[in-house]
C-alpha cells in the first residue's frame, strides 16, 4: 500500500510538471502582448520593449518557463497585467467559492443518484424504475446553464425565494451561504445526479448478478441486508470512480454556472482573464484547476485499496 502510494505520488508529480509545460505553452500561443496590454495602446515602443525586458518576455521560451516554474514552486504565480494584484492571492480568495459550489452540487447529486440508481437496479421491472430511467436520460441531455436560467426565472424573479447572483462566505452565516449557493448547486447537481444515477444502476446490476448475492438470498437474509450490506458494498468501486471524476469535472467545469450566477469563483476568474487577455491570471487559474483534477484522481486511486482489501498493488 505504502509503495503504491509512493509510486502514485511520483507519477502525479510527473503529470503536474507536464501540465505546467502545457499550460505555459498554450497561454504563450494566445494573441496579444502582455507588456502592450499593461501600458495601453498609446504607449510607445521603447516603453513596451523596456517592460518586456523587465517581465523577461524577451528571453527564450525555455528560460521563461524555468523562471516561471521556479516561482510557482515557491508559491509565486506572478501578478495580473490588468490590476497588478497577486495571482496567488486572487486564486486563494476564489477557491472557497468554487469548492463550495462543487461540493454542494456533488452532495445534491449523490442525494439523487444513490437512491435512484439503487431503485432502478433492485426494482428494474417496476414503473418507478422506468420513470427514473427516463428522467435520468433526459437530465443527461439538459445543459446546466439552461437549467440555471430557468431556476433564476422561477425561484429568483417570480417567487423571490433565493438570490439570483452573488456569493456569501460561510463565515457570514450558514443560512446566507446556503441561500446563495442553492440555485447554482441545484443547477449543476441535478444534471450530475442524472449522470451518476446511470453508473450506480449499472454497478448495482452487475453486483446483483453475482453468485454471492444468490447465496445470501438463499440463506433467507432480508432484502435490505442483501442490497445495502452485500450488493452496494461490492458496487462501491465503480461508483467511487465516477464520483471522483464528476467532482474533478465540477471543479474545472462550473465556469458557465459561475458566470450565469455571478459567482466570484475560479472558473469566472479564468473566463474574465481570457476576455481581458490577462495571461498570468489565466495561467495560474488553469494550472490550479488542472492540478486539482490530478490530485482528485490520486485520491480516488488511494481509496480503492481502502475500500476493497482484495485489490493488490
Mean pLDDT over 102-127 rounds to 89
**Closest-CA residue to 177 (of 191, 190, 163, 158):** 163
Cβ neighbors of 122 (< 8 A, separation 6 or more) are: 204, 208, 223, 227
Q: What is the pLDDT of residue 311?
A: 58
pLDDT tens sequence across 14-33 = 888 888 888 888 777 766 66
pLDDT category of residue 106 using cuts at 50, 70 and 90 = very high
Q: What is the pLDDT of residue 151?
A: 92
Residue 79 — φ and ψ, nearest 5°? -130, 150
Domains present along the chain, CATH in parentheses? 2-73 (no CATH), 90-307 (1.10.3720.10)
Distance (Å) of CA 45 to CA 36, 53, 56, 74, 271: 9, 12, 16, 33, 29
Q: What is the pLDDT of residue 3?
A: 72
Does the pLDDT value for residue 243 go beyond 80? yes
Q: What is the pLDDT of residue 61?
A: 80
Would you call 21 helix, strand, or coil by DSSP?
helix
Q: What is the pLDDT of residue 204?
A: 86
Mean pLDDT over 218-224 rounds to 76
Does the pLDDT value for residue 308 go beyond 70? no
Q: pTM score, two decimals?
A: 0.83
pLDDT category of residue 129 using cuts at 50, 70 and 90 = confident
Mean pLDDT over 245-259 rounds to 81
Most confidently predicted of 96-105, 220-229, 238-247, 281-290: 96-105
Residue 237 in contact with residue 308, Cβ under 8 Å?
yes
Amino acid at each position: 500500500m505504502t509503495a503504491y502510494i509512493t509510486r502514485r505520488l511520483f507519477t502525479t508529480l510527473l503529470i503536474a510538471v507536464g501540465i505546467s509545460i502545457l499550460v505555459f505553452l498554450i497561454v504563450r500561443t494566445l494573441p496579444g502582448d502582455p507588456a502592450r496590454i499593461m501600458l495601453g495602446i498609446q504607449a510607445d515602443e521603447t516603453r513596451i520593449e523596456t517592460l518586456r525586458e523587465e517581465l523577461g518576455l524577451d528571453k527564450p521560451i525555455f528560460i521563461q518557463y524555468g523562471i516561471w516554474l521556479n516561482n510557482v514552486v515557491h508559491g509565486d504565480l506572478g501578478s495580473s497585467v490588468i490590476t497588478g494584484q497577486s495571482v496567488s492571492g486572487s486564486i486563494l480568495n476564489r477557491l472557497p467559492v468554487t469548492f463550495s459550489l462543487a461540493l454542494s452540487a456533488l452532495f445534491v447529486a449523490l442525494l439523487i443518484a444513490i437512491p435512484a440508481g439503487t431503485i432502478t437496479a433492485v426494482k428494474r421491472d417496476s414503473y418507478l424504475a422506468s420513470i427514473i430511467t427516463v428522467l435520468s436520460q433526459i437530465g443527461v441531455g439538459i445543459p446546466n446553464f439552461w437549467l440555471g436560467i430557468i431556476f433564476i426565472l422561477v425561484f429568483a424573479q417570480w417567487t423571490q425565494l433565493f438570490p439570483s447572483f452573488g456569493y456569501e462566505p460561510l463565515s457570514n452565516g450558514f443560512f446566507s451561504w446556503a441561500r446563495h449557493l442553492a440555485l447554482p448547486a441545484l443547477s449543476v447537481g441535478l444534471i450530475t445526479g442524472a449522470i451518476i444515477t446511470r453508473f450506480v444502476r449499472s454497478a448495482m446490476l452487475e453486483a446483483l448478478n453475482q453468485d454471492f448475492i444468490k447465496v445470501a438470498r438463499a440463506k433467507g437474509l432480508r432484502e435490505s441486508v442483501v442490497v445495502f450490506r452485500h450488493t452496494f458494498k461490492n458496487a462501491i468501486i465503480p461508483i467511487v470512480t465516477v464520483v471522483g471524476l464528476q467532482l474533478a469535472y465540477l471543479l474545472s467545469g462550473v465556469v458557465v454556472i459561475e458566470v450565469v450566477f455571478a459567482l466570484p469563483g475560479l472558473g469566472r476568474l479564468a473566463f474574465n482573464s481570457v476576455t481581458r487577455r490577462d495571461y498570468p491570471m489565466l495561467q495560474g487559474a488553469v494550472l490550479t484547476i488542472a492540478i486539482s483534477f490530478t490530485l482528485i484522481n490520486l485520491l480516488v486511486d488511494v481509496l480503492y485499496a481502502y475500500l476493497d482489501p482484495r485489490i493488490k498493488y
